[in-house]
Amino acid sequence: MFASRALKRAVAALVIGGTLAAGIGLSKEVQAQAAAAKLEQYFGIPSFRVGPFAAAGTGFFGGIIDYLTYINMTGGVNGVQLTWQECETEYIPARGIECYQRLLKRGNQQMHIFEPLSTPIAYGVLNRVDDDRVILTQYGYGRSDAADGRVFPWVFATLTSYWSGASAMINWIASREGGVANLKGKTITHLYLDNAYGREPLPVFRALAKQMGFTLQEVPVAVPGIEQTSQWLQIRQAKPDWVILWGFGAGMNSTAITSAARINFPRDRMLGIWWAASEEDMIPAGDAAKGFFGVANVPSGRQFRVVQEIEKTVYGANRGNLQDPKRIGTIYWNRGVTAAIFWVEAMRNAQARYGKGQVMNGDQLRWGFENINLTAVRAKELGIEGMLPNFRLSCEHHEGAGVIKVMQWDGTRWNTVTPDWVSSDRKMIRTMVEESAARYAAEQKITLRDCSKEK
Amino acid sequence: MFYREAGKFRTSYAQDAQIFPLGLDKVMVGALLVFAFLIVPNIASQYWLIALLIPWLIFSLVALGQNILTGYAGQLSLGSAGFMAVGAFACYNFLLRVDGMPFLAAVALSGVCAAAVGIVFGLPSLRIRGLYLAVATLASQFFIVWVLDKFGWFKNYDPSGVITAQPIVILGYLFDSAAEKYVLVAAIVGVLALAAKNMVRSNIGRSWMAVRDMDVAAEVIGFRPMPVKLLAFAISSFYCGVAGALFAFAYLGTVEPSAFNIDMSFRILFMIIIGGVASILGSFLGAAFILLLPIFLSVLFHTVFGNAVDASMLSATELIVFGALIIFFLIVEPHGLARLWQVTKEKLRLWPFPH
């Protein structure tokens, strides 16, 4: 009896809920049509705010939304207002694809830029973006060989790719050791999360080890990277000169640091990739993290003008996206802000060519991306001096500057130890990118895009 | 009023052995098939096809496999995602290494590979039972993913470890659009579901259920537990393998070992518990519940609250509501959603004059 009554109620609730949703959906559509008349550029935001990587997701996507809000509050892009919709991916590939499809269309608006902050999700949508004419920006992660815009016309590695990052890290270590010649005979450990992300830099490290004469010790850690006892035993036996930590998630990174402390491995001989170098990664390790070096593709701090302006304009008006305004200026948030800056820069470029004050489509935005030219003057105008390196993208070159900064953790915050950007071996990385991309093109039977025909 | 049985006499064994003995059922299932194969591909949007229907059908197939093993044969297993991984990688390698390999043959062979692996990992079931067996099958989950990760050959030595699935070509016809992939998946799932239904109604199914209910008794009445249990493992893994191949080729488009993690195995087990243990329909309902309900909630919440409520709170609330609904349904009907449907059907038989 109870079952049937409950069933009736459940069915009734479902029917009411469904009608409600349909009704609201309809009114949304009407709104969206009205919005198009008002000139709005629509962005899809596939965020992750729950799950093991929530700290990264809330910071990064919070930064994006804060910058978009800031642009809206200061008049939009030549009068075009920005609008967006969020979708929760939980960092799961299948949910990411669902979000991609859901965000793709809203009313009569189209999504043109997709930034999931997840290598697995990026791989999942990689073969869809061509048909949908969506730009996949891969902001500091993903396929390194996507830097070849002839093979991957819709995929960018807007910031430094993993391969460039790996090369720049070795260059910085060499400079600490007093030159490349001194690397000969040294041992460098690559302690990495054993998945696509951790394995990505291996070809670069192996090539560099051969070229520079250091020994590379490869130590994989099984996902999710918390159990590292045997790995540190291995490291202790090898007595490396440097440990490169290629980890992800506060659990793995803080465990690596506390394990290093346990065997007395000096923390200032450890260098973490940018996903192992956020405030959220260091704080759980406590004092053990003091002296740890981390790579920054975007440095942390509030000293940048754009950060201060967002704080004043957006948070001053109580429209900020972060629940805890103390996180303004942290690594993840700053990274999100700069990611959104590229979206808006691409939009500005596209508008300058295709019509100011108009809504841009996918092709136009891609042209905008491929013509991003971040000069020192432009960086000053945007208030991001020292936050991003100077570089330009083009039809062939879909990767940013390929440079890093190195920071050191003092127990409470990151301090930049390289005032200038540390460069990677651009020529070597580009050759590897083109080789790998050519192999992919042959496998997938892709005809290369002819960049000389596009202006 | 509905499902009237009065005046319907079965005069032959064939009539007695029908899957759908009631006239209304036949009409409804027929209409459903016409709807699924002719109407849905034409009217459903890209989003519905790619994000909802294709994954739902694929996970229904896995749940079917899990249900054969756990629901019908009574062997609690936590290795389904591992068997899916075997299927996905087998399909990739067959297409890569055998020239002119037809896609459907590759899918079938990947099912066979998964079945072979399933038999090996089913061997412990001859000695251990229940929860202990579940723990033993966990080994398959970890071992398979580890092997695929460790040995580059399976991934054709791709440096990133994430490989792109080849395009689906059957008899020279490229299955490229969402609607085409949907029809392909629906056809395969339909055929396999029919096969499963017939298996569980036949001698094989009865032997599984006998072993499930009491294996000593089953042995006494003449079923040898070893072949029965291993057959259940083989067929269940076959279903998982085929689903894994479809998951990689018709849905994700990439093949990556870490996509088939332990979390997925648990979700598959939850699908049959929520949907209905030992029920074909339950596999479909359970997959829909676990897979589609969170998405439905997310869409509902976003349309209702939009940007008015903090997005982090919204995401957390979705999870809370989803968890509460699982508890609600398990309390209301511990035998799963399929049982709810059965109750409904019994009520409809008497409606509008219940006694």
- Give me the mean pLDDT over the B110-130 stretch: 93
Domain co-membership, A260 together with A178: yes
- Give me the mean pLDDT over the A349-355 stretch: 93
Say if A453 falls within a structural domain.
no
Among A2, A31, A81, A88, the strongest candidate for a mutation testing the B interface, having the largest count of B CBs within 10 A, is A88
Confidence of residue A249 (pLDDT cuts 50, 70, 90): confident
Helices assigned H by DSSP within B202-309: 203-213, 215-220, 225-246, 262-275, 280-287, 293-305
Domain co-membership, A149 together with A96: yes
Give the start-to-end residue ranges of the domains of chain B: 21-261
Domain co-membership, A275 together with A177: yes
Q: Is the pLDDT of residue A10 over 80?
A: no
Say if A446 falls within a structural domain.
no
Which residues of chain A does B310 touch, with a Cβ-Cβ cutoff of 8 Å? Answer: 323
The rounded radius of gyration (Å) of the Cα atoms in chain B is: 21
- Cβ atoms < 10 Å from Cβ of A454: 12
Confidence of residue A5 (pLDDT cuts 50, 70, 90): low
Say if A287 falls within a structural domain.
yes
Confidence of residue B258 (pLDDT cuts 50, 70, 90): confident
- Angstrom distance (rounded) from CA B345 to CA B355: 15
Provide the pLDDT for residue B252: 87
Say if A257 falls within a structural domain.
yes
- Angstrom distance (rounded) from CA B152 to CA B158: 7
| 8-state DSSP, A142 | S
Q: Is the pLDDT of residue A206 over 50?
A: yes
Residue of chain B whose alpha carbon sits nearest to that of A25: B303
Closest residue to B162, CB basis, from A97, A101, A196: A196
The domain that holds A292 is classified in CATH as 3.40.50.2300
Domain co-membership, A261 together with A369: no
Domain co-membership, A291 together with A176: yes
ipTM of the complex: 0.84
Provide the pLDDT for residue A455: 64
- Helix, strand counts (H, E) of chain A: 16, 16
Domain co-membership, A131 together with A247: no
- Looking at every residue in chain B, the average pLDDT score rounds to 90
List, in order, residues 6 or more apart from B323 with CB less than 8 Å away: none
Domain co-membership, A311 together with A216: no
- Cβ atoms < 10 Å from Cβ of B319: 16
Q: Which of A257-266, B104-113, B148-157 has the lowest mean pLDDT?
A: B148-157
Render pLDDT for A365-404 as a digit per residue (tens, 0 to 9): 999 999 999 999 999 999 998 899 998 999 999 998 889 9
Provide the pLDDT for residue A37: 54
Contact A49/B299, CB-based, under 8 Å?
A: no
Q: Which of A352-366, B41-55, B157-171, B269-283 has the lowest mean pLDDT?
A: B157-171
- Give me the mean pLDDT over the A63-72 stretch: 96
Domain co-membership, A279 together with A341: no
Q: Is the pLDDT of residue A14 over 70?
A: no
Tokens representing B123 are: 């061997």
Render pLDDT for A423-440 as a digit per residue (tens, 0 to 9): 999 999 999 999 999 988
Output A127 or A304, whichever has higher pLDDT.
Answer: A304
Closest residue to A199, CB basis, from B52, B160, B343: B160
Among B49, B162, B274, the strongest candidate for a mutation testing the A interface, having the largest count of A CBs within 10 A, is B162
Provide the pLDDT for residue A231: 93
Count structural domains, chain A.
2
Render pLDDT for B177-208 as a digit per residue (tens, 0 to 9): 889 999 999 999 999 999 999 999 999 999 99
Which residues of chain B does A7 touch, with a Cβ-Cβ cutoff of 8 Å? Answer: 332, 340, 343-344
Q: pLDDT exceeding 90 applies to what percent of chain A?
A: 65
Interface check A120 vs B, CB under 8 A: yes
- Give me the mean pLDDT over the A351-368 stretch: 93
Provide the pLDDT for residue B22: 79
Which residues of chain A does B312 touch, with a Cβ-Cβ cutoff of 8 Å? Answer: 49-50, 54, 58, 323
Provide the pLDDT for residue A224: 78
- Angstrom distance (rounded) from CA A244 to CA A230: 17
- Give me the mean pLDDT over the B332-345 stretch: 89
Domain co-membership, A257 together with A317: no
Q: pLDDT exceeding 70 applies to what percent of chain B?
A: 98
Q: Are A241 and A210 in contact (CB under 8 A)?
A: no
Residue of chain A whose alpha carbon sits nearest to that of B341: A7
Render pLDDT for A17-39 as a digit per residue (tens, 0 to 9): 544 444 444 444 444 444 445 78
Provide the pLDDT for residue A2: 45
Provide the pLDDT for residue A347: 95
Domain co-membership, A61 together with A175: no
- Looking at every residue in chain A, the average pLDDT score rounds to 88
Domain co-membership, A281 together with A309: no
Q: What are the residues of chain B with a beta carbon less than 8 Å away from any beta carbon of chain A? A: 46-47, 50-52, 55, 146, 149, 159-162, 164, 251-254, 256, 258-259, 261, 295, 298-300, 302-304, 310-312, 314-316, 318-319, 328, 332-333, 340, 343-344, 347
Say if A132 falls within a structural domain.
yes
Structural domain of residue A201, as residue ranges? 162-296+406-424
Say if A377 falls within a structural domain.
yes
Render pLDDT for A85-117 as a digit per residue (tens, 0 to 9): 999 998 888 889 999 999 998 888 999 999 999
Tokens representing B54 are: 């294709």
- Cβ atoms < 10 Å from Cβ of A339: 23
Render pLDDT for B128-140 as a digit per residue (tens, 0 to 9): 888 899 988 988 8
Render pLDDT for B42-84 as a digit per residue (tens, 0 to 9): 998 888 998 899 999 999 999 999 999 999 999 999 999 999 9
Closest residue to B315, CB basis, from A88, A104, A443: A88
Number of residue pairs across A and B with CB atoms under 8 Å?
Answer: 118
Domain co-membership, A236 together with A317: no
Provide the pLDDT for residue A243: 96
Provide the pLDDT for residue B257: 84
Say if A442 falls within a structural domain.
no
Provide the pLDDT for residue A216: 95
Say if A75 falls within a structural domain.
yes
Residue of chain A whose alpha carbon sits nearest to that of B331: A3
Provide the pLDDT for residue A83: 93
